[in-house]
Amino acid sequence: MDMKSTDIEKIVRQVLENLGSKEAVPKKRSVQDIPDRARVAMLTRAEHFDIQEYPIPEVGDDDILVKVEGCGVCGTDAHEFKRDPFSLIPVVLGHEGTGEIVKMGKNVKKDSAGKPLAVGDKVVTCMIFKDNPDITMFDLNKQNVGGADVYGLLPDDDKHLNGWFSDYIFIRGGSTVFNVSDLDLDSRILIEPCAVLVHAVERAKSTGILRFNSRVVVQGCGPIGLICIAVLRTMGTENIVALDGEDKRLEFAKRMGATEVVNFKNYKGIEALAEAVREAFGGHGADFAFQCTGSPAAHSNIYKFIRNGGGLCELGFFINGGDATINPHFDICSKEITTVGSWVYTLRDYCTTFDFLKRAKGIGLPLEKLITHRFPLDKINEALETNLKMEGLKIAIVNE
């Protein structure tokens, strides 16, 4: 077949245009797509959100406007929804969120880890440190960020778009933000709770007791306990016993990497329960324990599962859940138990979490199955009620 050079050029041009079409390369969102107003779920009284609309603020030179794609419901959100323990009402909650940058100030070039940022990138936030410049990504003291402000727990102000339970969130200059465009939506929604567990395991490792071949008991198989098991599994720990009172959660614990499970409801008294845990470890006490519930009684029990010279990480109390009763002689001193507390995370833990999520997926852990219920923003009251009823595992608000 005789083809002229002009015909060849035409064919080549058509192929290149097809490669660059919308189907091949998704177009990044333009500024013209941004509406004038955005919806937020404003907690206006205990156990009730109102969907309200506010003007989208002008984006300054250091600010970022993000279109929200989804946000997990945390236990902290549930506590605030139920009884406002932080005295924040009215407030836009939601701190486990992620979305797409639709507009950014001229001074915004990179994220908090030095990765380039552009309109269209998928991001998450950590904390707001404008009043504490000593906290950085490379803080050698690995300072805990628990005292900083967080989107989703900010008092309402003239910006209003302060939490991830919304259509858009306004990220102020001085905030931490991370480019996570290489992670899918479910993984991005799970970043914040997973960072809590990455931090907890790092705290546990600081005792020098937690090792690859350690016998580890994880008490509590809600989302936090289940993620704890997954983090341990990705770090090479294989001898894990999960303890909970719900068979469905214990079954999921096995899928996340637990080798044995114990339902405490099947045993009468702490001695019988402690013996069941020992039997699950082949007659041994645990080398290390993670206490992942907010129950003071559960904290009192955890010491009974640990061998002499073992370790404990307590991470279940994100709010004041009341006092626990222990016997310092029998529970700590005579057994020489090394105990560490864990609360939230460091900035470094956030970046480590991105790699954890990829590793967990790589070895086949079904982290995405943690999200059992998804609700649109206008069904947020139903979403929080579902969480309080402990139906499912992880509840999420997902925008269309």
- 212 and 324 share one domain: yes
* 175 and 46 assigned to the same domain: yes
What is the CATH number for 209? Answer: 3.40.50.720
The whole-number pLDDT of residue 137 equals 58
pLDDT of 118 higher than 60? yes
Residues 222 and 336 in one domain: yes
Confidence tier at 320 by pLDDT (50, 70, 90) = confident
- Note whether 63 and 89 are same-domain residues: yes
Could you tell me if 131 and 228 lie in one domain?
Answer: no
Q: Evaluate whether residue 310 is within a structural domain.
A: yes
pLDDT at 132: 58
Band the pLDDT of 347: cuts 50, 70, 90.
Answer: confident
Indicate the pLDDT class of residue 325, thresholds 50, 70 and 90: very high
- Asked if residue 24 has pLDDT above 50, the reply is no
Task: Work out whether strand 175-179 and strand 91-92 pair parallel, antiparallel, or are unpaired.
Answer: unpaired
User: Would 3 be classed as within a structural domain?
Assistant: no
Same domain, 78 and 169: yes
Which CATH number do you get for residue 109?
A: 3.90.180.10
Looking at residue 72, its pLDDT comes to 98
For CA atoms 212, 215, 217, 222, give the dihedral sign.
positive
Contact between 179 and 126 under an 8 Å Cβ cutoff? The reply is: no
- One domain, residues 201 and 288: yes
In a domain, 71, yes or no: yes
Residue 1: its pLDDT value, please? 44
- Residue 38 domain flag: yes
- Any domain includes 18: no
Residues 176 and 204 in one domain: no
- Terminal Cα distance for the chain, rounded: 51
Q: What is the pLDDT of residue 23?
A: 38
Report which of residues 129 and 223 the model is more confident about. 223
Do 257 and 313 have their domain in common?
yes
pLDDT value for 67: 98
pLDDT (mean) for 318-338:
94
Q: 308: helix, coil or strand?
A: strand
pLDDT over 80 at 276, yes or no:
yes
Domain housing 337: 197-341
Quick check: 398 and 186 in contact, CB under 8 A? Answer: no
Co-location of 98 and 176 in the same domain: yes
Q: Determine, yes or no, domain membership for 348.
A: no
Q: How high is the pLDDT of residue 20?
A: 44
Domain count, the chain: 2
DSSP 332: I
Q: Is residue 218 part of a domain?
A: yes
- In a domain, residue 13? The reply is no
Is the same domain home to 115 and 231?
no
Is residue 28 scored above 50 in pLDDT? no
Section 120-132 average pLDDT: 82
Residues 172 and 304 reside in one and the same domain: no
Residues 186-210 pLDDT 10s: 999 999 999 999 999 999 999 999 9
| 94 closest CA partner among 172, 161, 148 | 161
